[in-house]
């Protein structure tokens, strides 16, 4: 299957005078990352030279029209002899997924043995990351490598509250960072990504939905997966108390949508197992992050005015009464983990059996509930360590897994609602 933007990639490679074969491609999607991308490119170059000196290595920056000097920063990066970096534009919907697809197409055209992806805003990337991400594929025949970070307990709240527990419960496979941003993939998985039906690439997968799309595809298509212990990741942190509604919608919309595609997979998946980690997890200090709980609870309270009617329909009268009880709690704000899992299952089933033009509004109405669950997690973990907080996240995944029969029941009910 050919996409119109593939011709643009081929032309850019030709204009860059790239030779036709490169053993490994490192891809860096970007948009206005001039402050950090030069260091990322140079670090990737050092890692390629140190750990894969026998391979012919190319770094490709796929840029979405930066105006801050990002492309110039890539060109000015100092690289070891034999390592090359180029910058190419991409076409189509502006977003991370579109940038990655251009990298995938380029890597395939260049006959690469494997492809590594890393974020342009990473401030803690080390040369060793290239080894940890690439070696399992190059030397041990894995198909997909995901990151295993050390993160502050309040970094990655969408992952902790929703993406990690739902993915684990659905597909029986635990990956601690399913949307981490630093990945590696084999040629086989790369081709799977490229030649997937066009409708799956638009629009959310072209934006922030791409990471969970890749991870879910790798799990459900049977590729061998391992986690790389990268240590601490310092990047441009996103405060859930700020406006993350677009990112939230794109990630969750993609995740919910893939439940329909892989329905036969998750309905029969058994008890979850953890993916192996390729080496020891380092011991490092983690920078403490702050979250504005008042902003989170305020979004929840505002939700009753904006989305109260939707909550009554999607969660039922009992669910709506529970939300009222949570809001009116005088002692301590608490959004229980088991109720949260049921909320997500209610929403995922309702989303998948509703008209497509309603799905944006459905996801909008879920966002204040995510804010409430995050506020509750922050209050529960204020006085405990990152390690103990992570145990609560793991326990939350167990709750999702235990309540999976509830999902199947709701899924069946909503399917009957659609076709009755």
H/E stretch holding 390:
helix 386-402
Model confidence at 191: pLDDT above 70? yes
Say how far apart CA 355 and CA 359 lie, in whole Å: 7
> Looking up tokens 């997968």, which residue turns up?
205
Residue 206 contacts by C-beta under 8 Å, 6 or more apart in sequence?
A: 92, 93, 95, 97, 98, 101
Model confidence at 69: pLDDT above 50? yes
Give residue 389's pLDDT.
93
Residue 393 contacts by C-beta under 8 Å, 6 or more apart in sequence?
A: 160, 164, 165
Share of residues in the chain with pLDDT > 70 (%): 95
Among the residues of 76-200, which ranges form H helices? 96-109, 127-140, 157-158, 164-171, 187-194
> Looking up tokens 């402050």, which residue turns up?
35
Percent of residues in the chain assigned helix, strand, coil, to nearest 5: 55, 10, 35
Residue 200 contacts by C-beta under 8 Å, 6 or more apart in sequence?
A: 213, 261
> pLDDT averaged over the chain?
93
Q: How confident is the model at residue 285 (pLDDT cuts 50, 70, 90)?
A: low
Lowest mean pLDDT among 100-109, 184-193, 194-203, 308-317: 194-203
146: nearest Cα among 278, 16, 317, 296: 278
Question: 3-17, pLDDT tens digit by residue?
Answer: 446 888 888 888 888
Question: 234-277, pLDDT tens digit by residue?
Answer: 876 555 555 568 999 999 999 999 999 999 999 999 999 999 99
Give residue 92's pLDDT.
85
Model confidence at 401: pLDDT above 60? yes
Model confidence at 58: pLDDT above 50? yes
Domain ranges of the chain: 4-274, 293-419
Model confidence at 314: pLDDT above 70? yes
Give residue 181's pLDDT.
92
User: Which pair of structure tokens corresponds to residue 56?
Assistant: 């012919």
Question: 71-109, pLDDT tens digit by residue?
Answer: 999 999 999 999 999 999 998 899 999 999 999 999 999
Can you tell me whether residue 225 is helix, strand or coil? strand
Complete edge-to-edge strand list for the sheet that includes strand 225-232? 84-89, 57-63, 24-30, 114-117, 183-186, 144-150, 225-232
Q: What is the DSSP letter of 163?
A: I
Question: 327-380, pLDDT tens digit by residue?
Answer: 998 678 999 999 999 999 999 999 999 999 999 999 999 999 999 999 999 999
Give residue 6's pLDDT.
81
> Looking up tokens 């939300």, which residue turns up?
323
Cα maximum dimension of the chain: 67
pTM: 0.95
Identify the CATH class of 4-274.
alpha beta
Q: How confident is the model at residue 404 (pLDDT cuts 50, 70, 90)?
A: very high
Say how far apart CA 124 and CA 39 lie, in whole Å: 10
Give residue 2's pLDDT.
43
Question: 112-160, pLDDT tens digit by residue?
Answer: 999 999 999 999 999 999 999 999 999 999 999 999 998 888 989 999 9
Give residue 87's pLDDT.
96
Contact yes or no for 185/114 (Cβ under 8 A): yes
> Looking up tokens 């025949």, which residue turns up?
141
Say how far apart CA 103 and CA 92 lie, in whole Å: 14
């Amino acid at each position: 299957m050919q996409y119109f933007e593939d011709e643009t990639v081929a032309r850019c490679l030709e204009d860059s005078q790239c030779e036709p074969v490169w053993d490994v491609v490192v891809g860096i999607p970007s948009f206005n990352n001039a402050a950090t991308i030069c260091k990322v490119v140079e670090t990737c170059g050092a890692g390629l030279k140190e750990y894969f000196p026998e391979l012919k290595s190319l770094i490709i920056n796929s840029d979405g029209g930066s105006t801050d000097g990002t492309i110039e920063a890539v060109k000015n990066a100092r690289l070891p002899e034999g390592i090359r970096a180029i910058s190419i534009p991409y076409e189509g919907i502006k977003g991370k997924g579109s940038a990655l697809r251009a990298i995938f197409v380029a890597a395939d055209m260049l006959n690469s043995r494997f492809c590594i992806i890393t974020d342009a805003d990473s401030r803690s990337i080390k040369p060793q990351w290239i080894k940890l991400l690439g070696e399992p594929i190059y030397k041990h025949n894995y198909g997909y490598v995901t990151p295993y970070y050390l993160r502050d307990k309040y970094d990655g709240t969408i992952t902790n509250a929703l993406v990690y527990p739902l993915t684990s419960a659905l597909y029986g496979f635990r990956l601690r960072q399913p949307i981490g941003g630093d990945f590696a993939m084999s040629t086989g998985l790369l081709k799977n990504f490229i030649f997937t039906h066009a409708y799956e690439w638009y629009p959310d997968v072209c934006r922030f939905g791409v990471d969970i799309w890749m991870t879910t595809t790798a799990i459900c298509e049977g590729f061998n997966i391992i986690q790389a212990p990268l240590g601490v990741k310092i990047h441009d942190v996103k405060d859930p108390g700020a406006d993350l509604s677009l990112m939230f919608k794109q990630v969750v919309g993609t995740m919910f949508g893939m439940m329909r595609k892989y329905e036969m997979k998750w309905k029969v998946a058994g008890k979850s197992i953890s993916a192996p980690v390729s080496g020891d997890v380092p011991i490092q200090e983690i920078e403490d992050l702050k979250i504005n709980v008042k902003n989170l609870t305020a979004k929840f309270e505002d939700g009753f005015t904006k989305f109260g009617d939707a909550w009554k329909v999607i969660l039922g009268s009992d669910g709506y009464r529970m939300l009222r009880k949570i809001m009116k709690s005088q002692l301590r704000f608490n959004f229980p983990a088991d109720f949260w899992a049921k909320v997500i299952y209610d929403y995922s089933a309702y989303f998948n059996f509703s008209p497509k033009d309603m799905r944006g509004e459905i996801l909008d109405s879920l966002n204040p509930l995510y804010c409430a669950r995050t506020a509750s997690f922050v209050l529960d973990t204020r006085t405990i360590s990152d390690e103990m907080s992570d145990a609560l996240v793991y326990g939350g995944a167990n709750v999702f897994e235990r309540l999976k029969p509830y999902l199947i029941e709701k899924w069946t009910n909503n399917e009957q609602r659609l076709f009755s």
